[in-house]
Amino acid sequence: MQLSWKPHHLSCCSFTFFKLVCKYLNHIMGLLDRLSGLLGLKKKEVHVLCLGLDNSGKTTIINKLKPSNAQSQDIVPTIGFSIEKFKSSSLSFTVFDMSGQGRYRNLWEHYYKEGQAIIFVIDSSDRLRMVVAKEELDTMLNHPDIKHRRIPILFFANKMDLRDAVTSVKVSQLLCLENIKDKPWHICASDAIKGEGLQEGVDWLQDQIQAVKT
């Protein structure tokens, strides 16, 4: 008996072959993905909340941490929140830049569960509102989604270049940071416009995120 091939036979075989190739490629990509993670070639992604009062310099700091070709030239006050990204030597940061204006601060708590670390920015030249910054910090630390977690907190005592700025040691005293016993924290004096002090803080935060399971 003579066998004959019909067009749909070829189409069916081609489709089956295509599915096998896709399955094989997906398997290879999965292996490469796991291998890159083991070798440290793939950066682990972490979610970070950037908090602080309005005009403290949060957005300027996050902008400065991004690659130069991705930085914005005009910084405007954050309305609600914005999501930004930057990378360190081994981590990929997704940052929730939360507005510090009074009417938006109640949004902070809705993102606490997502945060694996916190960047808290203080205007070290604004002594009058240091009390308000402390109140917001205390409220955050006592929130159920933060209180019982060993989540690292990086403080930037920003605007250190201004004449009225107090030292990071003084900021630490005014905020009573020594009372934070159950969470790793670190404070850096910073100048967001020049980028001074930022890398020191990010290096510390990177080490803490890699060491602490939140």
Cβ contact 141:147 at 8 Å: yes
Q: Specify whether 101 is catalytic.
A: yes
160 in a known ligand binding site:
yes
pLDDT by residue (tens digit) across 61-86?
999 999 988 898 888 888 888 999 99
**What pTM was estimated for this model as a whole?**
0.79
pLDDT by residue (tens digit) across 178-192?
999 999 999 999 999
Active-site residue, from 73, 101, 116, 206:
101
Q: CA 26 to CA 23: how far, in whole Å?
A: 5
94 in a known ligand binding site:
no
56 in a known ligand binding site:
yes
Helix (H, G, I), strand (E, B) or coil at 102: helix
C-alpha to C-alpha distances, 202 to 31, 86, 109, nearest whole angstrom = 31, 11, 23
6 in a known ligand binding site:
no
The DSSP bridge partners found for residue 95 are 48, 84
User: Where are the alpha helices (H) located in 124-167, listed in sequence order?
Assistant: 130-141, 144-147
- List average pLDDT for each run of 10 residues in the chain, which is 214 residues long: 48 57 56 53 85 96 92 86 91 95 95 96 97 98 96 98 96 98 97 96 95 63
Closest CA to 73 of 86, 58, 62, 63: 63
Sign of CA dihedral 45, 99, 122, 184: negative
